[in-house]
Amino acid sequence: MSAGAVRPFLPALRRLEARLSVPVTRRVRLLRELEYDLEELTARFVDQGMPQPEAQARALDALLPDGDALRELGGLHESLYRRFGRRFGPTRLRGIERGALAVATAVVLAAEAAALLRADLLAHASPFLWVVLGFGAALFALAATSAFSLWVRKDPDVLERGPRGLLAGSALTLMAGFVGAYVELSHVLGLLGRNPELVSDVGVAWLIRICTLLSTSITLALLGALAWFVLHQWLVVLATARARALGFDSSDPPNRGALS
Amino acid sequence: MSDGFDVQGFARDIHELLVLAALRDDAKHGYQIALDVETESNGQFTFRHGTLYPILHRLEGEGLIQGSWSTAGGRRRKVYALTRAGRGHLDGRTDHVQRIVSGLMELLRGPGQAPA
């Protein structure tokens, strides 16, 4: 569609979109297909001598899907996962999804701990390290939920929800690491101030403890931010395609949730 | 019905066959398919209220037609073409519908009545 072109069917397409429960990419394609057909059919009617308003009304009557057609389209374009998941029922499927997420999160948490154990960094770990690892597991759970909803379940309302919490979680992880490092550093400096002779015994151990805490929190926060960036960019692409199909200003997409 | 004829699905089959038949010679846009079916059937078969799109998308999902996007005048449009599987399906189902309609007409007119 060329910029500035008159698009008389946008109000009808927007009303239709609100009732069309299919994944966003398929919804956008369907709306584009429909708009082209509506415009072309109207032009045909006008060429046959019909007044423009009547031609538009006839084209809408012929091509705009009604409730039954929308339901059928919804079923046809349902994601494979939803089609497969219908065998279990919504409650059972939700239970399976939560169970799988809990197991995956536990595995990631165990993998994080195992990596630190292999490097012999947990022997004298700061208690803050466990807080950071907990935030890391929560970040993984948030990213996995968003990615699953976007790419596997293909939720029709994915634009409204967006990858919420990932950036905040990353910031909290980073903050926990820095607060922990500050507390640990205050503690060791106080200890060494009172007992300067301990510097050779505890200095290196405390340095490793603080570096482990900081590097772990920074790594997990960066991974969380990276996951947010990828999901966010993907959603921006979807939101822009939807905005174009519906004639919204793409610099001001209506789906604030996706971009928050 | 002894041959498993599905009465409720018959209307849907007819609409699907009309779409496949409209694509027999050329690839067409959705609106063109609807227009051609209406014109060539002298207005007896019309697609209203967007019933065309579920049929098109179902046939596309079954591989009987293939949709492709192209750009013309800066606008994206979707064109459908009959696949080889679609052509075979059209031929097979047309024979099937003909048998059903013949049987139905015989039943309606009564035995021994010549067709009008």
Smallest CA–CA distance from A45 into chain B, residue: B35
CB-neighbour burial class of residue A148 (10 A; exposed 0-12, middle 13-18, buried 19+): middle
DSSP state letter for B2: T
pLDDT along chain A (260 residues), means of 10: 69 90 88 90 90 92 89 87 80 87 87 79 81 90 89 77 82 95 90 82 83 93 94 90 80 42
The predicted complex's ipTM stands at 0.79
Question: Token digits for A67?
Answer: 């409730």
Q: Measured between CB atoms, does A19 come within 8 Å of chain B?
A: no
B46-63 tens-digit pLDDT: 887 788 999 999 999 999
Closest partner residue to A36 among B48, B53, B77, by Cβ?
Answer: B77
Beta-bridge mates of residue B71: B76
* A79 neighbors A152 (Cβ within 8 angstroms): yes
pTM of structure: 0.74
Return mean pLDDT, chain B.
Answer: 84
What integer pLDDT is reported at residue B114 of this predicted model? Answer: 57
Pairing relation of β-strands B75-82 and B65-72?
antiparallel
The mean per-residue pLDDT over the stretch B100-107 comes to 85
The mean per-residue pLDDT over the stretch B74-95 comes to 89
| Residue numbers of B between 22 and 61 with CB closer than 8 Å to A | 29-32, 34-35, 46-54, 57-58, 61
Would the CB atoms of B54 and A65 count as touching at under 8 Å? yes
Q: Which of B28, B38, B49, B58 to mutate to test the interface with A (most CBs of A within 10 A)?
A: B49
| Residue numbers of A between 50 and 79 with CB closer than 8 Å to B | 59, 61-66, 68-70, 72-73, 76-77
Distance from CA of A118 to the nearest CA of B (A): 51
* A184 neighbors A128 (Cβ within 8 angstroms): yes
